[in-house]
Amino acid sequence: MPDQTSYTEDNIRSLDWKEHIRMRPGMYIGKLGDGTAADDGIYILIKEVLDNCIDEFVMGAGKTIEISVKNNQVSVRDYGRGIPLGKVVDVVSKMNTGGKYDSKAFKKSVGLNGVGTKAVNALSSYFKVQSFRDDQSKTAEFEKGNLINDAALEASSIRKGTKVSFIPDLSIFPHYKYRNEYIVKMIKNYVYLNTGLTIIFNGEKYRSENGLKDLLDENISEESKLFPIIHLMEEDIEIAITYSKSQYSEEYHSFVNGQHTTQGGTHQNAFREALVKTIREFFGKNFDASDIRKSIVCAISIKVMEPIFESQTKTKLGSTEMGGGLPTVRTFITDFVKRRFDNYLHRNPETADKILKRIMQAEKERKELSGIRKIARESAKKASLHNKKLRDCRIHLNDMKKDNRLESSLFITEGDSASGSITKSRNVNTQAVFSLKGKPLNCYGLSKKIVYENEEFNLLQAALNIEDGIENLRYNNIVIATDADVDGMHIRLLLITFFLQFFPEVIKEGHLYILDTPLFRVRDKKDTHYCYSEKERKNALKKLKGKPEVTRFKGLGEISPDEFIHFIGKDIRLDPVMMSKETSIEKLLKFYMGKNTPERQKFIINNLKVELDLIDET
């Protein structure tokens, strides 16, 4: 039967700017999230406001930016030129309005489409913008994009610049919480890319004198560096390079006009090609590209005229042209790397020799592993990966070519009962489940060979598609879902060891999480409370009258699928596995997973006492 649904002029609807943003927030800020991931929307809101401040600094106006985050209210103050007073309301509430359309005012701006602050405004329950200039000030306030206060101009002696304050809307970002670690990482990237800029976050100052060299120093310890960082820069391009002694895959930190392009793009691809070409020509040998790039740690930043990104969140560069009469991005980067990196190798033969030995070592390891890898791949296929071990999500099964990684998660769980509960209660479109068989091997100190010889590790890396690095990682979120008992904690530790040992960039790039599940269920005939701590259990008992039933969940397998849906749905609680700048992977693994039993035993006893004291206090 044909569809009889009427389709008339009444079905055609035009949304105003704020309605469209609020109805389709993902188009403007990517995934929403609750703050547990660095790319969650609440951080994109800060970034959008910060980008405008950075553009002021790049144009030579304002060397300091102040940021505060208190009780989930964000304030960002710059000391740039200040928004022209007659356009303050328009700039934050009218689409296609801004100063960046005039290339003379913003030659190499981060954002050109004038959407950023409008999205922040529309997605905030409260938004306030203030501009100070020409001995006057202008203030405007909004709620969910609706103007509630268009204040008159006032005389002002306050230093010129712009201040934006906002509170993300709980109806868009339920249960959100800002994590300072993610904000600090964002801030550091800004100061690395803008030497001379000072950003003050909640009273603490951040500043860089050595640009991308400081960034690599932050991300790789001295003992892990194969040689001192090579730092090369000219107008519109800066590169920092070294190799890691301890990691296997490539690691890139790439930027365009100050924007962190976490998914790379044309500039990162051009650099990888240029590096291979330069090294091959320098040594006069046709080395395999993977051997040349194995273990490289690099940061690259370029500036282009009116960049084209593949999404509003600007995580991947699509531009092929530099603009301004310069050659293509590929030619520009290739010429720079060939000239400057080649010269450096000629002038620093010790570094060149270390690179040569590292490449030859990588070549030897690759050839030794080639046979094992082939067998391991066949084994992964025969293990019926998509049936027994991995229950994939539909966005991968139905459309492998589409980049759906940002929307997908993989739960790594133990045992048939736990994996069964998660499988039955998951969102089949975006959530996949990988079932472990027994405890993983302690892989500390073992070579990459064990990843292929151990069935669990081999199948896990195949499921994640990280055999050759995380560039093609199939799931944005890798979630360890184990029981909250001693065995479950041990499995967590063994899995984290696996990633730290062989794929540390999974953790460095913020992809690994621990699933937080309730310890107790407290309920009466009317209400049910799921409690994640002893303190929450006590609070629930106070709220419920009479003698409520208290159930202690000993394992994930005891939680029914009907209940599990509450813990992995929109109210999911995830704890990100993070590393601080002081962390040395080698020292970390040696202490926790090595054979220093007396030291570790003392550490556990001391920390167990602290934990017991905290429980007593609650």
Among 351, 307, 312, which residue's Cα sits nearest to residue 329?
A: 307
* 3-class secondary structure, 322: coil
The pair of three-digit structure tokens given for residue 203, joined into one six-digit string: 């009273």
Q: Please give the pLDDT value at position 554.
A: 77
Quote the mean pLDDT of the chain.
84
**Count helices and strands in the chain by DSSP H and E runs:** 22, 23
Q: What is the pLDDT of residue 480?
A: 93
CA distance 524 to 178: 34
In whole angstroms, give the CA distance from residue 271 to residue 238: 11
Does the pLDDT of residue 605 top 70, yes or no?
no
d(CA 612, CA 601) in angstroms, rounded, equals 16
Give me the percent of the chain exceeding a pLDDT of 70.
84
Residue 400 banded pLDDT, cuts 50, 70, 90:
very low
Give 505 or 232, the one with higher predicted confidence: 232
Residue 292 has what pLDDT? 95
Domains along the chain?
17-206 (3.30.565.10), 212-365 (3.30.230.10), 384-517+555-583 (3.40.50.670), 520-552 (no CATH)
| pLDDT one-digit tens code per residue, 165-176 | 999 999 999 889
- CA 121 from centre of chain: 23
Quote the crossing angle between the two packed helices 180-193 and 212-219, to the nearest 10°. Answer: 140
Q: What is the pLDDT of residue 243?
A: 94
For residue 347, pLDDT beyond 80: yes
**Contact present, 229 and 212 (Cβ < 8 Å):** no
Quote the CA–CA distance of 95 and 17 in Å, as a whole number: 7
Residue 207 pLDDT exceeds 50: yes
Which of 48, 31, 72 minimizes the C-alpha distance to 180? 72
Segment 200-227 shows an average pLDDT of: 91
| pLDDT computed for residue 615 by the predictor | 41
Q: How far apart are CA 167 and CA 120, in angstroms?
A: 9
User: What would the two tokens of residue 584 be?
Assistant: 């040395």
pLDDT of 383 reads 62
| Residue 415 in this model has a pLDDT that exceeds 80 | no
Q: Are 306 and 103 in contact (CB under 8 A)?
A: yes
Q: Which residue has the tokens 């670690």?
A: 181
With beta carbons less than 8 A apart as the criterion, state whether 422 and 411 touch: yes
Tokens of residue 246, six digits = 């301890």
Asked if residue 401 has pLDDT above 70, the reply is no
pLDDT band of 613, cuts 50, 70, 90: very low
**DSSP string for residues in 36-100:** SSTTSHHHHHHHHHHHHHHHHHHTT--SEEEEEEETTEEEEEE-SS---GGGHHHHHHSTT-SST
- Enter the pTM of the model: 0.79
46, pLDDT greater than 60: yes
Give the pLDDT of residue 55.
Answer: 85
For the chain, the straight-line distance linking the first and the last C-alpha, in angstroms and rounded, comes to 64
Question: Residue 100's pLDDT is what?
Answer: 52
Tens of pLDDT, residue by residue over 348-366, are 999 999 999 999 999 998 8
Which of the residue ranges 230-239, 439-448, 458-467, 588-597 has the most confident prediction, judged by mean pLDDT? 230-239
pLDDT of residue 607: 58
Q: Is the pLDDT of residue 113 over 60?
A: no
Among 298, 360, 309, 308, smallest CA distance to 333 is for 298
Higher pLDDT, 204 or 115: 204
What residue type is 512 in one-letter code?
L
Are 22 and 123 a contacting pair, CB within 8 Å?
Answer: yes
